[in-house]
Amino acid sequence: MTHTERGGTTVPEDAQANSAVVASAPRVVLVGPPGAGKSTIGRRIASALNLPIVDSDLLIEQAHGKACGEIFSELGEERFRELEAECVAQALATGGVVSLGGGAVLTPSTRQLLQRHTVVWIDVTVEEGIRRTAGSTSRPVLQADDPAQHYRDLLATREPFYREVANYRVRTDSRPPQRVVAEVLSIIDSTEE
């Protein structure tokens, strides 16, 4: 997908073509790495629009009665991604604001489903992402002997997929959440014109 820069936001040249979705579809889908702020930004956007927030990680936890970290540790990444893909498909069939887990874009079926939606890549620099996730015990995908290097490797793997699915890219580092929310709300407004 082709992107151009606009302030702190990257805008695709074909954004209008990708904004036509069915009425029951989410107004916006947020993707991005761990620690970027997807859940925080998603909740604030949903509140501003008076819409529900659907967090794919919470759907997984509700469906399986355990925290995502436990499921990931017990079943392994491959099985976790299968369960995640099912919950993502469910989330994308609802209205509101959808926030996806950081690794959801690794699954081809999820990337295919995202083609029909307005997707905003909530991004953060490697350094800030490392700072925000340091010491996290709820994210087993980040557990490693060298968490900083592991985070860099994780981003190197996922960034091409975020770039593939996103219509827009918004950075959160060194920016207050309300400014990021205002930017995403502006994106939503522009796709609905």
In whole angstroms, what is the distance from residue 59 CA to residue 88 CA? 8
> Cα 187 to chain center, whole Å?
15
158 among annotated binding-site residues = yes
40 is annotated as contributing to ligand binding: yes
**Number of other residues whose CB lies within 10 A of the CB of residue 176:** 9
Residue 102 assigned to a binding site: yes
C-alpha 182/C-alpha 193 separation (Å) is 17
* Residue 37 marked in a binding site: yes
- Tell me whether residue 139 is annotated as binding: yes
69 among annotated binding-site residues: no
57 annotated binding-site participant? yes
- The first and second tokens of residue 156, run together, are 């190197």
Distance between CA atoms of residues 185 and 33, nearest Å = 20
**36 has binding-site annotation:** yes
- Does 48 count as an annotated binding residue? no
- Residues making up the binding site for ATP: 35-40, 139, 175
- Residues making up the binding site: 35-40, 57, 81, 102, 139, 158, 175
- Residues making up the binding site for substrate: 57, 81, 102, 158
- Residues making up the binding site for Mg(2+): 39
